[in-house]
Amino acid sequence: MRIIGIIAEYNPFHNGHAYQIEKIRSLTQADFVIAAMSGNFVQRGEPALIDKYARTEMALSCGADLVIELPALWATASAELFASAGVALMRKCGCVDTLCFGAETDNLSLLKEVASLLVSEPEDYKEVLSSCLKKGMSYPAARSQAVCSYLKKANQQIPADELACLLNEPNNILAIEYLKAIQAQNAAITPYLIQRTGDGYHKAALNSSLSSATAIRKELLSNVWNDITTLNPYLPEAAYSILKEYLNLYPPVSANDFSAPLSYLLLQQSEAQLAFCGDSTEAIAHRIKNLQKQFHSFEQFCQLLKTKDMTYTRISRIFTHLLLQITSEDYRLGKSLDYIPYLRILGFRKDASRLLTILSNYADVPMISKSANAASMLSSDAARLFDLDVFAGELYENILSGKTGQDARSEFVRNIVRV
């Protein structure tokens, strides 16, 4: 039996995601596909456009057999921690033998070479990295330059332009992080690369039928929220129908919807408290406090704060951590629990219910299908991580409630999605 794992956000689910699942099924003859999916907040430090239950239904209707929530602690973390937790989740399932991911390149051997370098971190590499950081480069840029410098010396056969392109594309970078995590965790999981087709991740305009999630989100947020006919060509039919039904009830959610609570928290928190938030630092906290009077909105303040060595995305993640009450101590706790101390089941296909039996027989950690049962199933430390997931869901729902005038739906009454 072959069970494939995919780590995703599905924000929202589109043709490119359907292509990946269809391709991996046909190439590997997979029996089942398990998706580890971000909940209501995603890795860029933003809320998901639509809630995790609608996105779960999309994924299940378009080829996935089971959707498990990637805990909020890791779903909103750096690419390295996001990938490490995703791989750990697949490992904790105990039955996933292959991890499928997309990348701009089809050169898996080169991706593996870069991943091995970043795990071993030889002295020559660390010297260049340190030098670049001292020059004020952001960590991603410094790391990219250090990798290129080291590999050019070690392997003259790799074209310089291929290396530079490799480390400048978001899906290549995430693929490297998955490979690093598999190696670092000694996971018995085989990586399977599918080259991305269609528009790039950051392409902001709708173009091909495989338009990026970025372009689709931009269209949704700029359009009247109950008129999505322009998106029909870019989503599978089932996903389009689910999205349309959802948007008849709820508008899409954006980072700016959290401007008021964020403004309050920035006023309330001291500089020392801000430095303790998520992956913040004293320098970032100091800059936030210095410019606090110029806060107008979530996104505007991220733009104002960013510098060449402090990216927009990192600032956005810090603000999301502040909203979700995630601290640096939570990251230490999460790592001490080997990233994933439970499997939160969001949904499954009825014709794949056998997969739940397999999972219950092989999973290394408790499976949670009802939030109300979590307290009796988890240690106090694991319960802290689960409480963060619940709070993220409750906060998202309260923002939706404010936008629609409808009552918020509690995480404790939401049911598993069955398709």
Find the largest Cα–Cα distance for the chain: 62
Q: How far apart are CA 65 and CA 87, in angstroms?
A: 18
Instruction: Report yes or no: 314 and 337 within 8 Å, Cβ to Cβ.
Output: no
Residue 292's Cβ-side half-sphere holds a number of Cα atoms within 13 Å equal to: 18
> Please, which contacts does 19-22 make with residues 24 or more away whose CB atoms are closer than 8 Å?
19/197, 19/210, 20/100, 20/102, 20/194, 21/62, 21/63, 21/64, 22/63
Structure tokens at 210: 């495989």
Instruction: Report yes or no: 119 and 180 within 8 Å, Cβ to Cβ.
Output: yes
What residue numbers does the annotated binding site for ATP cover?
7-20, 102, 171, 196
Q: How far apart are CA 103 and CA 143, in angstroms?
A: 19
What residue numbers does the annotated binding site cover?
7-20, 102, 171, 196
- CB within 8 Å of 241: residues ≥ 6 apart: none
Mind giving me the DSSP string for 205-237? Answer: S--STT--HHHHHHHHHHS-TT--GGGGGGS-H
Dihedral angle of Cα 215, 218, 223, 225, to the nearest 10 degrees? 100
What 3-state DSSP class applies to 346? strand
Q: What is the DSSP letter of 2?
A: -
* Percentages (nearest 5) of helix, strand, coil residues in the chain: 55, 10, 30
| The residue count for the chain | 419
